[in-house]
Amino acid sequence: MSPRRLLLIDPDRSVHDFLMGLLQREDRTIRNAYGRSEALECLRSELYDLVLAGQGPDDLDGLQLVRQLHVLQPNAKIVFTGDPDPARVLRAIRAGAYSYFHSPLPTVALADMIQQALESEPSPDDILVLSARPEWITLGIRCKMDAADRATHFFRELEIALPAQVREDVVAAFRELLLNAIEHGGRYDPHKRVRASLLHTPKSIIVHIADPGKGFSLDALPHAAISNPEDSPIRHVEVRAEAGKRPGGFGILMTRNMIDELVYNERGNAVLFVKYLDGGR
């Protein structure tokens, strides 16, 4: 396999030093651009597998360069960085970004996402913004595992203003139910989508996830921990192994412990959960 080519665009040299130390590998070549003209020269002169574009002055803001990025590097994955700003995150999703990270940049999460981006073959519309009102955000997510990983991280960035523990509870619950929807409702069919909505009220966070499947009954889930008999607390693990399903099955049980209310529709192909904020009840 030929070396992967990465382009880092950011006006801050300390950011480049950090990213070079974090992302440099034997199978990667990394080029740095510190200004607009230098960035455009790099984009025109060589093809890249991934562009990591930061936030600087308007003439060097990655999101301001997005049109040129798509024209000059149509096959490159793009990861944007910048302020912890939900509106900016939504712009990144709409721009077809692979991911978004706010500053100060993390280490493990960013390195893992870059590796996943380099190994994956996403479609540019794996994640669509269907509603972008601050109080009501809806995403259309293809039934693919990498799309679920990316959507979960976008979800975390969208909820950056929440207290850390509340945010992690909501994000973890979202991920578990999204994976259930993609696996059981979408059957990992990339031609199908899950619809996920994030709603804010003054007193609560509400998440609604609808999948394209026929649904299920909570009373007939032998592959889920919530259905284990009292005398066999890990029976669902055996059922999942026999059916060739991924390890897991704790999603609904875990979710109930992290959020305040969990409701399924009659068919079982849509779920809503509520996390109350301080004083919300």
**What does the alpha-carbon distance between residue 157 and residue 15 come to, in Å, rounded to a whole number?**
20
Please determine, for residue 217, whether its predicted confidence score (pLDDT) is greater than 90.
Answer: no
Q: Are residues 188 and 110 in the same domain?
A: no
Task: Please state the rounded mean pLDDT for residues 220-246.
Answer: 55
Residue 222 burial (10 A CB sphere; 0-12, 13-18, 19+): middle
pLDDT score of 58: 83
Q: Are residues 38 and 172 in the same domain?
A: no
Helix (H, G, I), strand (E, B) or coil at 84: coil
Q: Are residues 106 and 167 in the same domain?
A: no
Here the tokens at position 75 are 């096959």
**213: Cα separation from own chain's centroid:** 22
Task: Please state the rounded mean pLDDT for residues 257-272.
Answer: 94
Residues 66-97: b if buried by 16+ CB within 10 A, e if exposed: beebeebbeebbbbbbbeebbebbbbbbebbb
Q: Are residues 88 and 164 in the same domain?
A: no
Task: Please state the rounded mean pLDDT for residues 188-201.
Answer: 97
Structure confidence by residue, pLDDT tens digits, 31-86: 999 999 999 999 999 999 999 999 998 888 999 999 999 999 999 999 999 999 99
Q: Are residues 109 and 154 in the same domain?
A: no
pLDDT score of 252: 74
Max CA distance (Å), the chain: 68
Q: Are residues 53 and 175 in the same domain?
A: no
For the chain, the domain total comes to 2
**What does the alpha-carbon distance between residue 214 and residue 268 come to, in Å, rounded to a whole number?**
8
Q: Which amino acid is at 99?
A: S
Helix (H, G, I), strand (E, B) or coil at 175: helix
- Give the mean pLDDT of the chain: 90
Which of 121, 142, 166 finishes a domain?
A: 121
Q: pTM to 2 decimals? A: 0.87
Structure confidence by residue, pLDDT tens digits, 107-166: 999 999 999 999 998 888 999 999 999 999 999 999 999 999 999 999 999 999 999 999
Q: Are residues 18 and 64 in the same domain?
A: yes
- Residues of the domain holding 37: 1-121
Instruction: Find all residues with CB under 8 Å of 215, minimum gap 6, and list them.
Output: 185, 265, 267, 268, 269
Q: Which amino acid is at 49?
A: D
Q: Are residues 2 and 108 in the same domain?
A: yes
Please determine, for residue 189, whether its predicted confidence score (pLDDT) is greater than 90.
Answer: yes
Here the tokens at position 119 are 């190994």
Percentage above 90 pLDDT, the chain: 79
Q: Are residues 104 and 142 in the same domain?
A: no
Please determine, for residue 235, whether its predicted confidence score (pLDDT) is greater than 60.
Answer: no
